[in-house]
Structure 1
């Protein structure tokens, strides 16, 4: 998956099934439905959360994380959260954003390719400057190690 912007969850589920060579009969038994219904889910751009939870369990992959990454990268930064701090919610509160390796690599690649500079990334995605700096240093070091290992006979 190269972009978290346009998510086609059915295609991603089908890709995971294919990668792990899971038989359609096992999937049909797990969901108690026909093969046609499974194929319909593969073609679906969206899926109910209960079904997505079942897919996540069956395929041992957190498909919800894809949507979390979309929120981190593409939801607008607003003053709503700072204005609402006085109000409490019964919903679970999360202290930090969770950045997957794919998101970090995506952001670092934007900077390394010159497509965006650090300030543009900070402004667009709301990633703290120190976090972004750590990523670029860490991934630059990792890339240098990979390149030196390739050149060593």
Structure 2
């Protein structure tokens, strides 16, 4: 079995900073050497998908009861979806079809903006 890598003082060890807000997660990864930060910054932003679903529901003048019936869920479970910052892709696909809105596009656009 391979022994885990250990960082010595000459190597650059990654430092991870996580800032959490109800709206988004921001993850900064910095490489540093001897206590000084260098470039190599990666930023990952995740939307709060539950809030976006609730917003689309309000825009379409749909109720929790309506979505619960469409999903065959209880109202309590729909409210739990609203509180989630991430969601199972199968559930998101079903909600996208029901609301006729591509929630996956939001994530795709974020990936495209980071890759370009």
TM bracket (short chain):
0.5 to 0.7
Q: TM-score, normalised by structure 1?
A: 0.45
2:94 is paired with a residue of what secondary structure? helix
* Equivalent in the alignment of 2:37: none
Larger fraction in helix: 1
* Equivalent in the alignment of 1:68: 108
* C-alpha contact (below 8 Å) 2:64/2:79 kept by paired residues: no
- Between the aligned partners of 1:29 and 1:18, the Cα distance in structure 2 is 16
- Which consecutive unaligned segments of at least 5 residues does structure 2 have? 1-43
What is the CA distance between 1:61 and its match in structure 2?
0.5
* Equivalent in the alignment of 1:16: 56
Q: Which has the higher contact order (CA 8 A, sep 6+)?
A: 1
Once the two structures are superposed, the pairs formed by residues 3-152 of structure 1 within 5 Å of their partners are 5-75=45-115, 126=116
2:90 is paired with a residue of what secondary structure? helix
* C-alpha contact (below 8 Å) 2:57/2:99 kept by paired residues: yes
Deviations 1:8-54 (A, max 9, x none): 11100000001111122221111111111000000100000110001
Moved over 4 A (4+): none
- Between the aligned partners of 1:50 and 1:6, the Cα distance in structure 2 is 18
Q: TM-score, normalised by structure 2?
A: 0.59
- Between the aligned partners of 2:105 and 2:71, the Cα distance in structure 1 is 22
Deviations 1:66-99 (A, max 9, x none): 1101111124xxxxxxxxxxxxxxxxxxxxxxxx
Larger fraction in strand: 2
- Which consecutive unaligned segments of at least 5 residues does structure 1 have? 76-125, 127-153
2:85 is paired with a residue of what secondary structure? coil
